[in-house]
Chain A
């Protein structure tokens, strides 16, 4: 069974993102492909490359990047929600005349249309708030 996931929760201050990560790991270990993971609302902060977690705490943003690399999963953030929260890639930085970028590795920026598309394409679509 194929999964698409929506994460609306930030990496540190709330539980949702880590729960989503554990869910994805469990699904993958049972042989269920997780195709696309979308980050929206405060879930955008998972893609912030400037997060500096203390060594003895879980770095959920890093966990997502490792998972994406290991299983070739697409990590996607919504462009409008990301702009509002200051998570931008090189293209956005140029468009908005910003001096730096902070989109973490393995994440890419897309529109909401791709989220709607994914939600109706795969066997299951699950939201973590």
Chain B
């Protein structure tokens, strides 16, 4: 059955393998008949930062090729880290906290990393 799955990415791409292994699950989910969204919150926004030395982060650029086009970023988290849209490898939709809460309510399943 087709479900709406939301991935919540909270961890930075360095310091642990959490981000890398979370991305593996997202890519696997994208091969199934489900609608996939992803939201980057807190230190998770670093996963989209351009010019990273980590190999696996190249895969984020490919998300639209996997039909993952609903990509959201925590607006406040960006501001707090002195980042803007132009620092990110992907075109994303910025959301405030209220909108992120609403996004979570709109999905059937949430993967929280």
Bound together, the chains give a CA A129 to CA B19 distance in angstroms of 13
The answer to whether A112 and B108 have CB atoms under 8 Å apart is no
CB contact list, B57-113 vs A, under 8 A: 108-113
Residues 99-129 of A, flagged 1 when their CB comes within 8 A of B and 0 if not, give: 0000000000001110111011000010101
By a CB distance below 8 angstroms, the chain A residues around B3 are: 120
The answer to whether B18 and A116 have CB atoms under 8 Å apart is no
CB distance from A33 to the nearest CB of B (A): 18
Q: A120-B1, A120-B34 are in contact. Are A112 and B25 (CB under 8 A)?
A: yes
Residues 19-30 of B, flagged 1 when their CB comes within 8 A of A and 0 if not, give: 001001100110
The answer to whether A112 and B28 have CB atoms under 8 Å apart is yes
The answer to whether A129 and B111 have CB atoms under 8 Å apart is no
Chain B residues with CB under 8 Å of chain A are 1, 3, 5, 17-18, 21, 24-25, 28-29, 32, 34, 108-113
Chain A residues with CB under 8 Å of chain B are 6, 8, 40-41, 80-81, 111-113, 115-117, 119-120, 125, 127, 129
Residue of A nearest to B2 (CB): A120
Query: Which A-B residue pairs are the 8 nearest by beta carbons?
Result: A112-B28, A120-B3, A116-B29, A127-B112, A119-B109, A41-B21, A125-B109, A116-B32
By a CB distance below 8 angstroms, the chain B residues around A115 are: 25, 28
Bound together, the chains give a CA A120 to CA B32 distance in angstroms of 11
The answer to whether B32 and A80 have CB atoms under 8 Å apart is no
Pick the contact of A116: B21, B28, B112 (CB < 8 A): B28
By a CB distance below 8 angstroms, the chain B residues around A41 are: 17-18, 21
Bound together, the chains give a CA A120 to CA B24 distance in angstroms of 17
The answer to whether B28 and A127 have CB atoms under 8 Å apart is no
The answer to whether A120 and B5 have CB atoms under 8 Å apart is yes
By a CB distance below 8 angstroms, the chain A residues around B17 are: 41
By a CB distance below 8 angstroms, the chain A residues around B18 are: 8, 41
By a CB distance below 8 angstroms, the chain A residues around B32 are: 113, 116-117
Pick the contact of B21: A40, A117, A120 (CB < 8 A): A40
